[in-house]
Structure 1
Amino acid sequence: MKIIILINLLLALTACTNKHDVCIKKGIQYYKDIGSYPKLSSEDVYADDKIKQTCSSNPNAFD
């Protein structure tokens, strides 16, 4: 029984990591499409930092 729970937990963590990675890729593409990559001139920050922050709080942010 413990093994089944552990396997399910690992699968859930893997799915979360994949969603996070997909979110980051979509975020990069979004900022490239609007011409704000690699640096957001409106906020004077790098898009990568903004994307990581956004995807950490909401992995569906760029869906």
Structure 2
Amino acid sequence: MILFKIKGIIIEMNKNAFYIIVIATFLLSGCDNGHKKDVEECVSRGIQYFKDIGSYPYLSDGRDALKVATERCNRTITAF
């Protein structure tokens, strides 16, 4: 068992659970910035695509092209 104190509260935790939390935190800490940049680049490609086909700033069905590109790129960065 591992004991540590956070804001005056003593927490007792199984070693395996502690190690899993540390590893998960380490792995997830680097994901956000790279993914954000990838999404921004995808959105830029999407906007350019919509401009090229004459559907910017609104698509033929009235939806906002920027919003559509952002939604698609948040699902997958290979959308455009």
**TM-score bracket relative to the smaller structure:** 0.7 to 0.9
- In the TM superposition, residue 13 of structure 1 has moved relative to its aligned partner by 1.5
Name which of 36, 56, 60 aligns with 2:74: 56
Q: Which has the higher helix share?
A: 1
Question: After TM superposition, where is structure 1 displaced by more than 4 Å over at least 4 residues in a row?
Answer: none
CA RMSD in angstroms comes to 1.9
1:44 aligned residue: 62
SS in 2 for 1:55: helix
Which structure exhibits the higher relative contact order, with contacts defined as CA atoms closer than 8 Å and separated by 6 or more residues?
A: 1
TM-score (norm 1): 0.76
- In the TM superposition, residue 12 of structure 1 has moved relative to its aligned partner by 2.3
- AA aligned to 1:61 is A
Distance 2:38 2:56 in 1: 21
TM-score (norm 2): 0.62
Gaps of 5+ in 1: none
Q: Which has the higher strand share?
A: 2
Gaps of 5+ in 2: 1-21
Identity %: 33
